[in-house]
Amino acid sequence: MGTRRIGLFECCMLLFRTANVPILPDAEARGVASVFQSPTGGGNVLVAAIGLPDPQVLGGETYVAWIRNTPLGQTIPFQLLQTGPVIIEPGVWVGAFVFGPGEAVAPFEDIVVTAEIAPPFIQPSLERIALIGLFNQCRPQ
């Protein structure tokens, strides 16, 4: 059995608002994902978003980022947390996924941010996608 080759990835990608998200007067909803993967495996994915409405607007309780269709066909969720005082608008949400040596998440298909109701987060609620970004648009840092 051959050894799976892991690639080096160090890039950033934009996450764009979907039609599910109303345009707020303070800021257009958007986000960014920073992807780092070592050639020996291991690394991290950081997602930050601004201008998202309260997740209840989309029928959820919290925002979750999903790395979809990794090299092993996985979908990996990680929760985003709102930073600072929640009364400040537009809301800023941030979350990260850290993976260890020998593991790889890139290249993947896309990252979506969805409004979810409660853990466990198994599959993204496709009717509640707030942001989306394609890996093929991930640009070197």
**Number of domains forming the structure of the chain:** 1
141 is a domain residue: no
3 is a domain residue: no
- Segment 51-69 shows an average pLDDT of 95
pLDDT digits (tens, 9 = 90+) for 112-139: 999 999 999 999 999 999 999 999 999 8
Q: Are 45 and 97 in contact (CB under 8 A)?
A: yes
pLDDT digits (tens, 9 = 90+) for 71-100: 999 999 999 999 866 666 667 999 999 999
Q: Which range of residues forms the domain containing residue 78?
A: 9-136
What confidence score (pLDDT) does residue 1 get? 45
Q: Are 42 and 107 in contact (CB under 8 A)?
A: no
Asked whether the predicted pLDDT for residue 104 surpasses 50, the reply is yes
32 is a domain residue: yes
56 is a domain residue: yes
Alpha carbon distances (Å) from 135 to 35, 76, 84? 10, 14, 29
Q: Are 58 and 115 in contact (CB under 8 A)?
A: yes
24 is a domain residue: yes
Q: Whole-angstrom Cα distance, residue 41 to residue 43?
A: 7
What's the CATH number where 36 sits?
2.60.40
Alpha helices in the chain (DSSP H): none
Sign of CA dihedral 110, 115, 120, 122: negative
Neighbouring CB atoms inside 10 A of 133's CB total 22
Q: Are 110 and 31 in contact (CB under 8 A)?
A: no
1 is a domain residue: no
